Amino acid sequence: MKILTILGARPQFIKAGVVSREITKRQKKGEKIQEIIVHTGQHYNKNMSDVFFEELHLPKPDYYLGVGSKSHGAMTGEMISKLEEVMIKEKPEVVLVYGDTNSTLAGAIAASKLHIRIAHVEAGLRSFNMQMPEEINRILTDRVSRWLFCPTDTAVENLKKEGFENFYCKIVKSGDVMQDAAIFYKQFAKKPNAEIDSDFILCTIHRAENTDNRKRLNNIFEALKEIAQERQVILPLHPRTKKRLLEEKIDTKNITIIEPVSYLEMVWLLEHSSLVMTDSGGLQKEAFFFEKPCITLRDETEWVELIEHKFNVLAGADRERIMDIYKNFTFNTNYEINLYGSGKASERILRDILK
């Protein structure tokens, strides 16, 4: 069995790492599985150097396509062309894609045109916001995939409502590979090089819906500044956010701004924080994995089960609402509930593919 794994962004390498480790376990037991890893180059910076793969115990890519940053159409088109060449050369039985990036969609399109079976990890997620490029990517990828590995019951129900039970595919509630990763990487956590109080809030802001809207961005930072007067707010600053803050001359007084951190440093920050405030999809789940309450600075989320169980709350970008939630919302503190598979997702995914 030859599996061709397509990755393009840092979170995808972390997700794929747990599945790659499961493949290695099976190889050591004598099972005939080969994994070919392709990095499209969608995201590439110093955090994707050799050190990144060594620190995270990840296999290095067999192919690096070097596509880089472009418009959505140009990027996706170039990826499809280059991935097709790799697939024709390698002749995999299965193409494995993760999440909802342009790399995900390009891999799915290239494989479907060559009649190669596709396995989509994190299938069935929906924000129901078609203005998000990620929403388009995940919907189209789901439609051409043979295996739909859903992290949650909600994701399974989304696919059923869209008629996927009538398509030639297998819907599987696999659990979430990011929980597998959180459990594995906790032992390697690294403290960032910054002055950090014993009680702090971890915050990240990077989504275009916030960074590219001056009113939303200003409202969020007005709330963060007020909160930071009584508790340390640590903000690893995304380059896009940094650029917009400078352009819009938005004040960041009191907020502890640090350079972007590695994944292992982020794990440390998660483990030691008392609250998470973010517009990141992945960080909302990771807050739950590390048993931290989360205020989401968006108007919707794909992780509705966290909202339903009050581990997470949507605050949007309204300053007064953010402050009201911060001061008054009562979060659920019972983290015993199994929402994401308890760290066995990678085993389930491989078991189903190998059948």
Residue 187 lies in a domain: no
Residue 175's pLDDT is what?
Answer: 95
Q: 67 vs 9, 64, 81, 91, 114, CA distance in Å?
A: 12, 9, 11, 22, 21
Residue 208's pLDDT is what?
Answer: 86
Statement: residue 48 has pLDDT above 80: no
Same domain (yes/no): 9, 105: yes
CA-derived radius of gyration, the chain: 20
Q: Helix, strand or coil for residue 129?
A: coil
Just list the catalytic residues. Answer: 206
Residue 336 lies in a domain: no
Statement: residue 334 has pLDDT above 70: yes
Statement: residue 97 has pLDDT above 60: yes
Statement: residue 44 has pLDDT above 90: no
Tokens coding 289: 């994995």
Q: Helix, strand or coil for residue 2?
A: strand
Interhelix angle 214-227/239-247, rounded to 10 degrees, is: 100
Average pLDDT over residues 280-298: 95
Same domain (yes/no): 199, 91: no
229-267 pLDDT per residue, tens: 999 999 999 888 999 999 999 999 999 999 989 889 999
Tokens coding 226: 């007020």
Question: 2 and 25 in contact (C-beta within 8 Å)?
Answer: no
Residue 229's pLDDT is what?
Answer: 96
Same domain (yes/no): 28, 170: yes
Going by C-alpha positions, the residue among 20, 144, 39, 37 that lies closest to residue 90 is: 37
Statement: residue 49 has pLDDT above 70: no
Band (16; pLDDT cuts 50, 70, 90) = very high
Residue 46's pLDDT is what?
Answer: 54
Same domain (yes/no): 165, 281: no
Residue 95 lies in a domain: yes
Hey, which residues does 150 pair with through a beta bridge?
173
Continuous segment of H or E residues that includes residue 276: strand 275-278
Residue 333's pLDDT is what?
Answer: 96
> How many residues does this entry show for the chain?
355
| Mean pLDDT over the full length of the chain | 94
Same domain (yes/no): 142, 208: no
Same domain (yes/no): 144, 234: no
Q: DSSP code of 227?
A: H
Residue 43's pLDDT is what?
Answer: 72
With the CA atoms of 73, 79, 81 and 83 taken in that order, what torsion angle do they form, in degrees rounded to the nearest 10? Answer: -150
Same domain (yes/no): 75, 164: yes
Band (9; pLDDT cuts 50, 70, 90) = confident
Nearest-angstrom CA–CA distance, 121 and 347: 13
Statement: residue 47 has pLDDT above 70: no
206-234 pLDDT per residue, tens: 988 999 999 999 999 999 999 999 999 99
139-192 pLDDT per residue, tens: 999 999 999 999 999 999 999 999 999 999 999 999 999 999 999 999 999 999
Same domain (yes/no): 220, 133: no
Residue 328's pLDDT is what?
Answer: 98
Range of the domain at 219: 192-328
CATH number, domain containing residue 25: 3.40.50.2000
Q: Helix, strand or coil for residue 4?
A: strand
Same domain (yes/no): 231, 155: no
Residue 98 lies in a domain: yes
Residue 294 lies in a domain: yes
Same domain (yes/no): 122, 231: no
Same domain (yes/no): 349, 298: no
Residue 106 lies in a domain: yes
Statement: residue 99 has pLDDT above 80: yes
Total domain count, the chain: 2
Residue 237's pLDDT is what?
Answer: 92
Going by C-alpha positions, the residue among 104, 150, 147 that lies closest to residue 124 is: 150
Nearest-angstrom CA–CA distance, 272 and 294: 14
Q: 131 vs 127, 136, 144, CA distance in Å?
A: 10, 8, 21
**Dihedral sign of CA atoms 20, 26, 28, 32 in order:** negative
Statement: residue 45 has pLDDT above 70: no
Same domain (yes/no): 138, 94: yes
312-322 pLDDT per residue, tens: 999 999 999 99
Residue 262's pLDDT is what?
Answer: 86
Average pLDDT over residues 304-309: 95
Q: For residue 111, give every residue at least 6 positions away whose Cβ sits within 8 Å of its Cβ, in sequence order, or none.
A: 83, 87, 95, 117, 118, 144
Residue 184 lies in a domain: no
Residue 186 lies in a domain: no
Hey, which residues does 202 pair with through a beta bridge?
234, 276
Statement: residue 74 has pLDDT above 60: yes
> For residues 280-305, b (16+ Cβ closer than 10 Å) or e, as one string?
bbbbbbbbbbbebbbbbbbeebbbbb
Q: Helix, strand or coil for residue 312?
A: strand
